[in-house]
Amino acid sequence: MSDSANSLTVTPLLDRVRLPADLKGLGDAELKQLSDELRTEVISAVSQTGGHLGAGLGVVELTVALHAVFDAPRDKIIWDVGHQCYPHKILTGRRDRIRTLRMKDGLSGFTKRSESPYDAFGAGHSSTSISAAVGFAMGRELGAETGDAIAVIGDGAMSGGMAFEAMNHAGHLGKRVFVVLNDNEMSIAPPVGALSSYLTRLYAESPVQDLKDVAKNAVRTFLPEPLQEGARRAKEMLKGMAMGGTLFEELGFTYVGPIDGHDIDQLMPVLRMLKARAKGPVLIHVLTKKGKGYAPAESRADGGHATSKFDVVTGEQKKSTSNAPSYTKVFAQSLTREAHKDEKIVAVTAAMPDGTGLKMFAEQFPRRCFDVGIAEQHAVTFSAGLAASGMKPFCAIYSTFLQRGYDQIVHDVAIQRLPVRFAIDRAGLVGADGATHAGAFDVGFMASLPGMVVMAAADEAELVHMVATAAAYDDGPIAFRYPRGEGMGVEMPEAGVPLEIGKGRIISEGKRVAILSYGTRLAEVLKAREALAARGIAPTIADARFAKPLDTALIDQLVAEHEAILCIEEGAVGGFGSHVAQYLSDAGVFDHGFKFRSMVLPDSFIDHASPEDMYRDAGMDAAHIEAKVLDLMGVAVAKRA
């Protein structure tokens, strides 16, 4: 039974497609119909699962055309970021599971090599596809059993410097590789910078057709009327640049386009001819629209980038209600309050003004908020320059994306002791986005740097105080982390009060064993304490607040008054618990039989599920904390099923 039997969609052609090879027997008219059915199926599936809707809808025809012309999985189609891959997944044998997207034990929301041989390269971050494609192409040249390599990259992702590093290398190598520039005018936020302006002038009077011997008559002389109006942004090939050529040509690529990415009649002839005749690197410029074919997505400012479950007819999202604000909103509100008091406070984000909450800041302080595009390295060093000039920059980047700017954190911020404030969103396990977006490593890589102050909020009220702490701190770099999702519902302060640097707090007094919590596992620690109390065990609970500098006075007090300490944090080994253990070891505490344990994320990447499921699988929920304490105290308990 086809998956369409479980939905309201009627998809006779799509029902016949199990794998891309099934597209080979379809004519172009049938491919158009297939595209319509595929778009309907994507909308139906995402309405039930939530996920990245707009990006996939924007590449439906392109996905069909690529799979109809090229021969995956021998030919490697590499989707940059990967959130545009839902149509690809449906066409590559996973339609029967498409309604498990982003759920526990279901399909990943991104491409994933372990999931399918048709997912040539995994991607959860942007700007990596061209590098991977060049690697596949050179593997082919060196005898690997692979065919063509095709990178599909958005105009927003092209703002990442890595894309240009790869294009520069590809042009130098001169080997056949295809880059499809999916120009939809928009990444998650409007694309930033001179590159975007360049792309928005890419043709003036008619499409530029290089490869004239191949594609001269392959596409219409002019784009159809609906796209002409919307594409005035992208119209003129920048002449006079690099000795009269185009940017892409000077990088060694043959440029073809622009092409209407929603017109099978344009896509198919060009792709067929390029596959038959291209010899070196080729850039195919395709114009698309995010959310294409679904009015509620098209009308959204972000094109329907990320959505919860929704009603297909109205597009209304079915979001659960909560009395607690999200951590991201608390951060944004707190930073905005601080900025009203201090005109030197500025904010920096790397293409995520909505995700980091800085859109709120930008509305009130447009001249003091900077979206640098998908360029985390630049964001960090730009912030360092702002700090060196006397400003107070808050660099707000997801933990998983901050990894990309680590060299700049070391060299441009930490060594120079510049007071950049790092607001690290999406700390810990994030749920449906899975391993690629988990904030598992920032505690370790930040706390290892000399002079870096590293904090973690235990709840949303603590986050308010940590924003104030960062705003008041000028002695060097400082970082604070907080998770995705809603807060704990605690009483909120009217204003943030700067914390004493390196000082934690006792939450509840107990005896024998102390639990030293760092971050928002504190809520689960308190649940575990209730369960332990039923057994007559009352551990002391402390909130460390700081991983660096450590509150050594607090740790000394816990050692003096208890038999054992259990540390817990939402991060990988090498973070807070490791620093505590190093301190205790250097102090000779273990020489006298003192007991110490640390609970961290396991040494594995945890697949997507709900955050609750992920933390249970990681062994870091209240039940596992309770069991750890009992084991530490030598209390025998029945093994968990």
Task: Give the residue numbers marked as catalytic.
Answer: 290, 376, 404
CB 357 within 8 A of CB 397: no
Whether 489 contacts 324, CB under 8 Å: yes
The residue behind tokens 């599971």 is: 97
DSSP state at residue 619: T
∠ at Cα 39 (37, 41), nearest 5°? 70
* CB distance 451 to 476 below 8 Å: yes
Give, for 12, the enclosing helix (H) or strand (E).
none
Euclidean distance between CA atoms 36 and 61, whole angstroms: 9
Please tell me whether 83 is known to bind a ligand.
yes
Give residue for tokens 């008091």: 341
Q: How far apart (Å, rounded) are the C-alpha atoms in residues 481 and 399?
A: 8
Q: How many CA atoms lie within 13 A of 614 on its CB side?
A: 26
Determine the longest span between alpha carbons in the chain, in angstroms: 84
Pair of tokens at residue 129: 């596809």
| Residue 297 marked as a ligand binder | no
Q: In Å, how far are 35, 158, 210, 219, 541 from 180, measured between CA atoms?
A: 19, 11, 15, 16, 55
- Asked if residue 184 belongs to a known ligand binding site, the reply is yes
DSSP letter (8 states) at residue 410? I
Which residues are within 8 A (CB) of 146 and not within 5 positions of it... i.e. 6 or more apart? Answer: 74, 75, 76, 136, 139, 140
Q: Report yes or no: 85 and 57 within 8 Å, Cβ to Cβ.
A: no
How far from 197 is each of 155, 185, 247, 469, 584, CA to CA, in Å? 11, 10, 13, 38, 56
Q: Is 242 helix (H, G, I), strand (E, B) or coil?
A: coil
Q: Is 126 annotated as a binding residue?
A: yes
Phi/psi at 49 (nearest 5 deg)? -110, -25
Annotated binding site for thiamine diphosphate: 83, 124-126, 156-157, 184, 294, 376
Annotated binding site for Mg(2+): 155, 184
Annotated binding site: 83, 124-126, 155-157, 184, 294, 376
